[in-house]
Structure 1
């Protein structure tokens, strides 16, 4: 506690005092042994995650479902019936139900574990390392293993692994936007602060989760893990309770509804039997109890929980292959329901590769083609008559801009071009290489000194030796055009240098304004040969009497794939919103180039949003799609306004301050490459490539998954409805089909046994249902509008389809039984076991035919008939297992079946196929009706 108090604010303590407080060695760093001891004492340098439930608890969680509760009740009833009967033999019904429930739970657990492993793999993939001094030697170690007292070695491009007090700093600039929201990199200094300051003003500190963009330094670690500033913010997120996804709410509603329906059906049927039958013995009561079990088994799609889990898990795996890592299975479908995607700009919609697009000098403007860091492109002169003069000026600008910078451009072994340093500085290196100037510039100039950039001067300079001019020294400056022009007295025109008068200055400033109007970021370059011996005490004094070379306009180019992805999103009725901290003109141009809005559309800024009341803000959220210069609090408010408008919102982010908005969104999307740990923790999905097109691909996948879930539900519920109606009408109408008195015991005989119903569900609810879950899209999923949040996954139309299909299944099943039983509507000559087996087989085959009918609500089952090999495999396997149940003796005994003749098999197949033909007729009628309605509508005016 004493140490913690002493280091409550290391920024106001001298570096030596901080080092003593944490037991650090500022020369050799910690020993490996001491670092290991501290790591064991303090724990890993990670944000505190919720304790992972033990395996047994995660397995039990798979049984926390209303449908599973119903099956547990069926097990109890079956056991009671077995006890009443004198415990003769094994309680087959109870055992079979228990096996089915256990298999479902195990399958759900395994699939959930797969999803967790995918997220863990992403964490390993994006884990950062830090350079530290240990035992007097520099080494790189995983940032999770940093401890208090470690000596950090900071250099350009490093992610700061822990909160640390600077010991030394050389032109050190750190990007702290992820922590403070400030877009400009902060210049750091090891000098002790005189008084406490806000986090963004603690210049002698570096913080976990930030990035070094320039320079280097050394720092001693003062806080790790949740003791860090980023850890404190992450802890606040735990107070925000996550909302259930639309799918979770819908399945919960469906489970409650099915549970209520099962209870009602069991009570009605059991009551009907009690009223209409004479009860002579306890055996009759047991038969009625078994009937209740049969109805419960028939009504509950035992495979639904496991099927949904597998369908979602397979969707997770497919998304992972497309660089979208989904942390929660139930979140997979949410993207398919998204009506708004709110995205940041840099790196997501753009390439995060600054590119020089224009060069403006005294002789005119030129365009440089090509985007990104690959030096592929050429210079296109605007005025060919002045091309020779302009070329000399452009060489000064591009080679000068390359000299006045610290970035590096290199080609990796795989041929990709990479940079180290600030993207704006790298842009000069790329443009210079496109013009073939790099080798010439490197051979001619050698750096002598550096005058680093400061926010006060808004420029940086280098002093170079010019080997082609007798080792003459020259100062080269790069910075904001208006700042440089104030320090310039002369102008480069071709190979000459002329006086920079007021007319020239006004023209050059107008050219720079033109760059800004085109949403290009302007930077200017100036230079001056130094007089021999000219070297003042303060090098900044040399930055005067400069020769203006010209300016460049650069931009972070849009991703080529983002434009097509946005078009696809709009086609799907998904609105795309850009939210950025960049300049409004830049935001407007990028948004127009990508097709988010048309040119000239309004852009709202953070200050403008602050001036809105709630009503105006809600209107802006509905109508405006581009926001610039916004703070994280604005993102949170925009999300809330969109959700209040009934939208399902997907929100992207990468900084810690984005985390609350990501958590509040229906699905938060974190950046896997540049995102912070807190952001990934708050998000439900992580982009492994930080690419907007991946989000739209995930939306497409989410919609396909939603369609497949509907296919599974349509198939499972219509099939189970067929079983329920078979049992219900088989009991109520027993006299009509010859079941009355077929087995004695008060004249009560069941059309199907409980074990047969369980077999049907195990056979048809598993393989075929899972195969439907991976069915390729049979319709154009991106050609329709997003579904409304309150829209039921099973709407009235689908319920009608389920009831009609279930009725068709029940009719052909009971008709099959009637054909072979004596009496009833059709006189037969077979015994109950044979007739029941025939009905049992017809019901199984009808459900297999129903697989094809359930693949689409509107398209024919014969469209894309052979695209799903898994479905064909599941159907063939299910049919083969049914043949075994009918013809293998020991299975006859377990399932109460009897062998069928070839003629009977043909009858069963023929009657079962009626379900498919009935579905085709219904779809054709719907198609014909919809065409008729469209034909009667008046044409739209041109």
Structure 2
């Protein structure tokens, strides 16, 4: 808390402690309003050197003492409460009532032996609860793992080196290094700032970014007016700065707010809503069917004793429980979580499970060029000056290569001087760092600025020349200015220089002189036209161009402002290439095959953008790009029409990106949008799927996005779209399987009761109530065949070619009419083969008995019970595709075969083991019985294969 703030400002301090009452030598920096104390004094109290930052060891010690820089989270739900929650379901209540009724009937009848039915039902309820608990825990763990992947990071100075650390590891005394697009990781006192503006709307509600100033405030002010402070959960909109961390975790201002917030309930996704709707609909339908079955038994079979009524009631309850896939929500969460983790291993981190639905439906991918379609290894390959042009060899950030002229090493004195000036001034007018670590060259900062450092290292003497200057100030680059400048002092004579770089056309507009060798001449119109022609030529060759200029400055220049960026001396222009990634062309072709458009939206020159788009197959050769100026001339209707046929947009601003996304969505497209800068955040948030760059992306962009590309690679987006489609396919697989199998159980009991006399059931038993399956057998089927195979189908590899069809529309139903027809027909086939198997082992039915007189009702019922289990296991193979043969890629899913094998072993055990025979009313079967069960159950597979073949022949697959 800020002890020095007067009491009349609630939440800002403790009463009675005025700033004048604080003894600076005795009060820790975290206990005072740091905005009222000099930045140097804050650093002294926190025992940190602002030139080197904390040491790594000291930061670790403070982290251990103070804890992580994280807000207090909602206390996790205890395990025992999660287990109890598994019993909070109307169908479970019915089972518990059924258990009580069964025990009551057992007591009424004399309590002879054990209440087997009650014990079995109770055991199944408990086992079902355990399975549900495990499934939910697995989903929670998967989501927690994803949360760690998307954690924010901060740049700090530790031990004199710039280091990127997770924001949770920030400690008091850390020296934050802030740049445009960064998310502020903790509350901190500014020590320096250059054109620094912070977006604090998330904390103060102020819509405009706040200009920051490190000067000490004269008096306590409100949070929004503490101009020398930065706060956790805000964002740098422009400029640069450094600040000493004064508060972390719950000791930050956002931590104060967090204590006042209640946890919010996450809204279900459209798919989850639909599955919930299906579950409720099935519940009502099946309960109605169960009541009809119960009434039919009572009327048709003359139920009269309490035991008979108990039997009928238990049957109705078990039928309802077996028919409704109450585990759907848990299975859905597990499958989505597993699928999302698989995507994360492929460098696509999806922050929210619900985003997978939209990802599989994307019809347009809007992406930037640099770093996404290209390698993000900016390389200067051309330098054009007044005396000619040179080539720079080598690719990437390893400073290996040379500067050549006309195919030979550069020797011309004038051209060498100009080239050295361009590369040196361009390097000084930047903030990037280049360092070798463990044999690999790494950059810290903007890749374009790093390209100057690499090129400068390839021209002998340039880095030595750069070392003569000390930096004094900066006018940072912004998307509006399209240039930046730095102020330097030469050590030898104390003279001041301004070095500038930026868009060549913008920079030329500010230049009045031209560097020719070691001479400076006026920049006339003819020279200006020639230079612009050179720039256009580079752009036409797909080079990104940056101009470099400089000027002398006087002692009154500091601090640097825009007025100083006039009357510059033009030094030259560089051509920078970012080579396309090798895999992008194939990925774009794959996207087009999937009927997904790829739209390039870039700030680069239209000629560069069009050339790259043509080379990659985004657009046809010769197609033109629409520029931001073109978009400004279009109204909303015109823009909607323009985006239908345009695939390349160049020289656009962030507001143009937002307009393009909105126009595509207005046309009915589902838009995935990539971005890396803070100004991309609005477009990413507006898009259906915002995709942030994991390497070059700012923290604000990552927070706004729904997906993060770990490798900044466009091919990863296409792979993620494929993965999203596969996940949706797998969800449909387990829905198809569960619903058709459960329908088979319902129809088996319903038709078995209605046709009991026809099938020979009535004549084979002296019981008043004769059922095709016992209550415990129905519950066993539900337990053995539901969860395992359904979960295994959730990780099924791609069976159908998901990229050979158009995107799924977001309004499409997960279960459409054709799927419902398949569910009903498969359920009917299951019921028919089950009842036919029972009939085969009973005399007096429709079919002649295989061995008249040797089999009784128990054996026949066991055979029917086993046939239904096996039929559902065969149905797992059917459900993997609605139209492709079950034999296509039959053995690719080892988890599915493991689930099938486990179910078979459990079924053999329940039939053959005496202890389970007593519990489930089964009898041992000989090889003939087993062979018949397998053969009859396989008819489910063959009938479905015939239906799929007909669909394929009719062209409906």
Contact kept? 1:303, 1:761, Cα under 8 Å: no
Q: Which of 708, 720, 745 pairs up with 2:730?
A: 708
CA distance in 2, matches of 1:140, 1:513: 38
Q: Which of 874, 883, 900 pairs up with 2:899?
A: 874
Q: Structure 2 length as normaliser, TM-score?
A: 0.79
CA distance in 1, matches of 2:187, 2:765: 81
CA distance in 2, matches of 1:552, 1:475: 21
Q: Structure 1 length as normaliser, TM-score?
A: 0.80
Q: Which of 843, 858, 867 pairs up with 1:833?
A: 858
Q: How does 1:166-565 map to 2 (within 5 A)?
A: 166-168=190-192, 172=194, 190=214, 208=232, 210=235, 217=242, 221=246, 244-301=268-325, 303-343=327-367, 347-349=371-373, 351-365=375-389, 368=392, 371-375=395-399, 392=416, 395-401=419-425, 404-405=428-429, 410-433=434-457, 436-438=458-460, 440-443=461-464, 446-450=467-471, 452-454=473-475, 459-460=485-486, 462=488, 477-480=499-502, 481=504, 483=507, 489=513, 491-492=515-516, 502-515=525-538, 521-525=544-548, 549-554=571-576, 559-565=581-587
Tell me whether 355-364 or 620-629 shows the greater mean CA deviation. Answer: 620-629
CA distance in 2, matches of 1:423, 1:112: 38
Residue by residue, what CA displacement relative to the aligned partner does 1:542-588 show, whole Å, maximum 9, x if unpaired?
Answer: 99998754221336665554444333233222334455677777666
- Tell me whether 1:801 sits opposite 2:822 in the alignment: yes
Give the secondary structure class of the aligned counterpart of 1:553.
strand
Q: Which of 809, 813, 838 pairs up with 1:788?
A: 809
Contact kept? 1:115, 1:327, Cα under 8 Å: no
CA distance in 2, matches of 1:235, 1:347: 40
Tell me whether 386-395 or 861-870 shows the greater mean CA deviation. Answer: 386-395
- Tell me whether 1:751 sits opposite 2:775 in the alignment: no
Contact kept? 1:7, 1:222, Cα under 8 Å: no
1:899 deviation in Å?
Answer: 0.5
1:711 deviation in Å?
Answer: 1.8
1:51 deviation in Å?
Answer: 6.4
1:929 deviation in Å?
Answer: 2.5
Residue by residue, what CA displacement relative to the aligned partner does 1:622-662 show, whole Å, maximum 9, x if unpaired?
Answer: 66655667777776776666556544444455677766765
Contact kept? 1:29, 1:133, Cα under 8 Å: no
Matching residue of 1:861: 886
CA distance in 2, matches of 1:241, 1:343: 33
CA distance in 1, matches of 2:630, 2:199: 19
Quickly say closer, same or farther: Cα 1:267–1:570, change in 2 above 3 A: same
Residue by residue, what CA displacement relative to the aligned partner does 1:231-276 show, whole Å, maximum 9, x if unpaired?
Answer: 99x9999999976423212212221221122122112222322332
Quickly say closer, same or farther: Cα 1:789–1:738, change in 2 above 3 A: same
Contact kept? 2:188, 2:230, Cα under 8 Å: yes
Matching residue of 1:114: 141
1:58 deviation in Å?
Answer: 5.2
- Tell me whether 1:128 sits opposite 2:154 in the alignment: yes
Give the secondary structure class of the aligned counterpart of 1:768.
helix
Q: Which of 723, 742, 751 pairs up with 2:745?
A: 723
Matching residue of 1:938: none
Give the secondary structure class of the aligned counterpart of 1:573.
coil
Residue by residue, what CA displacement relative to the aligned partner does 1:583-603 show, whole Å, maximum 9, x if unpaired?
Answer: 777666665555444564553
Matching residue of 1:3: 5
1:752 deviation in Å?
Answer: 0.7
Matching residue of 2:936: 911
Q: Which of 889, 892, 904 pairs up with 2:914?
A: 889
Residue by residue, what CA displacement relative to the aligned partner does 1:452-491 show, whole Å, maximum 9, x if unpaired?
Answer: 443799544656689xxxx999968443556568656554
CA distance in 1, matches of 2:84, 2:141: 17
Matching residue of 1:29: 45
Quickly say closer, same or farther: Cα 1:252–1:662, change in 2 above 3 A: farther
Quickly say closer, same or farther: Cα 1:42–1:587, change in 2 above 3 A: farther
Q: Which of 603, 611, 631 pairs up with 2:626?
A: 603
CA distance in 2, matches of 1:111, 1:213: 42
Matching residue of 2:953: 928
Matching residue of 1:940: none
Contact kept? 2:426, 2:548, Cα under 8 Å: no
Quickly say closer, same or farther: Cα 1:423–1:922, change in 2 above 3 A: closer
Residue by residue, what CA displacement relative to the aligned partner does 1:793-812 show, whole Å, maximum 9, x if unpaired?
Answer: 12222222222222222222
Matching residue of 1:822: 843
Matching residue of 2:122: 95
Quickly say closer, same or farther: Cα 1:536–1:809, change in 2 above 3 A: closer
1:56 deviation in Å?
Answer: 5.2
* 5+ long unaligned stretches in structure 1: 935-942
CA distance in 2, matches of 1:632, 1:156: 18
Contact kept? 2:510, 2:568, Cα under 8 Å: no
Give the secondary structure class of the aligned counterpart of 1:417.
strand
CA distance in 1, matches of 2:441, 2:674: 27
CA distance in 1, matches of 2:271, 2:417: 62
* 5+ long unaligned stretches in structure 2: 13-18, 25-31, 49-57, 203-208
Give the secondary structure class of the aligned counterpart of 2:933.
helix
Contact kept? 2:661, 2:686, Cα under 8 Å: yes
Contact kept? 1:26, 1:151, Cα under 8 Å: no
Contact kept? 2:82, 2:133, Cα under 8 Å: no
Aligned residues: 903
Give the secondary structure class of the aligned counterpart of 1:787.
coil
CA distance in 2, matches of 1:111, 1:633: 42
Q: Which of 98, 101, 104 pairs up with 1:80?
A: 101
Quickly say closer, same or farther: Cα 1:749–1:521, change in 2 above 3 A: same
- Tell me whether 1:572 sits opposite 2:594 in the alignment: yes
1:832 deviation in Å?
Answer: 0.7
Matching residue of 1:812: 833
Q: Which of 104, 108, 132 pairs up with 1:105?
A: 132
CA distance in 1, matches of 2:437, 2:926: 70
1:722 deviation in Å?
Answer: 1.7
CA distance in 2, matches of 1:477, 1:835: 93
Matching residue of 2:875: 850
Give the secondary structure class of the aligned counterpart of 1:161.
coil
Quickly say closer, same or farther: Cα 1:398–1:606, change in 2 above 3 A: closer
Tell me whether 788-797 or 651-660 shows the greater mean CA deviation. Answer: 651-660
CA distance in 2, matches of 1:901, 1:658: 70
Quickly say closer, same or farther: Cα 1:862–1:589, change in 2 above 3 A: same
Quickly say closer, same or farther: Cα 1:319–1:884, change in 2 above 3 A: same
Quickly say closer, same or farther: Cα 1:545–1:121, change in 2 above 3 A: closer
Q: Which of 770, 782, 793 pairs up with 1:772?
A: 793
CA distance in 2, matches of 1:258, 1:712: 16
